[in-house]
Amino acid sequence: MMIRRLLGAALAALLVLALVPSAEAKTGKEKWRERGTIVRVLDGDTFDMQTKDGIVRVRVNGIQAPESDWCGGKEAKKALKALLPKGTKVRLASIKASSGNAPTGVWRIKRTVHTKVDGTWVDIAPWLLSRGLVFPFPFIGEKAHNNEYLALGWQASQQQIGLFDPNVCGTSTVERDRLHLEVVSDPPGPDTGDGEFVMIFNGSRRAIDLSGWMIQDTSPLNAFFFPKGATVAADDYVVVFSGTGKRGYAPDGSRDPRFFYAGIGVMWNNTTVDIAFLFDDVGSDKTGNLRAWRILNPTQ
């Protein structure tokens, strides 16, 4: 697989050549925050570090790694551990000192992460993004690198490397079928089933079986897996609403097998950035190959 080939013995030598100077000085928006040493890497975008005030958990700003039991998750974690082995000195930056979240009950600070290469502090995210080891993940409030990271993700997708390789998780029999995603979000406020949705367009000449396929938003906690028997007809579409509703019925109550409901609240995250990734069910991991993706860059 492409990801595994990227993480051979040449990683250390490639690191010095591939890392680029941090954009912090150019943006003038981020400020240096914490500094310390790596204690352990938890996954492809999260680690613990020792600071003068104790151990803190850090969520790398602007990227999203697959979960550990998802296709590419082990490779992403391996790559981050290679960049940040235990004891590595790191320096963190952010626009807001308060940026962070606690999706599993443990507070994680969101930071742009720098390590020193040849005496210069460099941002680690571009290296991971340019090799397709992680996805770009814009944050409102921490937008210093959003455009840069999105461009690197798009470049990796055009090159079909890493997670963007159409067969990275296994051979897909429908890899050439044309699929397109569109994300529609409602304004901030109470969630409604017909207010936020993702549309999947099938531009091919045959129906596609979506059984077991998955749509992910900004978090795996917001993943929706298509039920058995779900299909998208040739030259047609299906809709997944963020709210609750009855499968096979449109919000107005009319019968239509193209309509599905995630039933998990604000799936398409109208308070941050609208993101959707569509994965098939190829391979032995929980998710398969990336089939389409859509990110609407936040403007505030």
For the question of whether the overall pTM of this predicted structure is more than 0.85, the answer is no
pLDDT of 84 reads 97
Mean pLDDT, rounded, of the chain: 82
Dihedral sign of CA atoms 62, 156, 277, 188 in order: positive
Residues contacting residue 4 through CB under 8 Å, at least 6 positions apart: 75
pLDDT one-digit tens code per residue, 7-51: 333 233 333 333 444 443 344 489 999 999 999 999 999 999 999
Name every residue whose Cβ is closer than 8 Å to that of residue 286 and which is 6 or more positions away in sequence.
67, 69, 70, 71
Alpha-carbon gap, residue 40 to 58, rounded angstroms: 11
SS3 category, 67: coil
Class level of CATH domain 179-296: mainly beta
Supply the pLDDT for residue 25.
Answer: 36
% of the chain at pLDDT higher than 70: 79
Distance, CA of 168 to CA of 98 (rounded, Å): 37
* pLDDT band for position 186 (cuts 50, 70, 90): low
H or E segment to which residue 183 belongs: strand 179-184
Q: Taking the domains of the chain in order of start, what are their residue ranges?
A: 2-164, 179-296
Architecture in CATH for domain 2-164: Beta Barrel (2.40)
Q: What is the pLDDT of residue 8?
A: 37
State the alpha helices, DSSP H only, in 131-233.
146-159
Q: Which of 8-22, 231-245, 269-283 has the highest mean pLDDT?
A: 231-245
Bridge partners, 135 (sequence order): 64
Average pLDDT over residues 209-215: 92
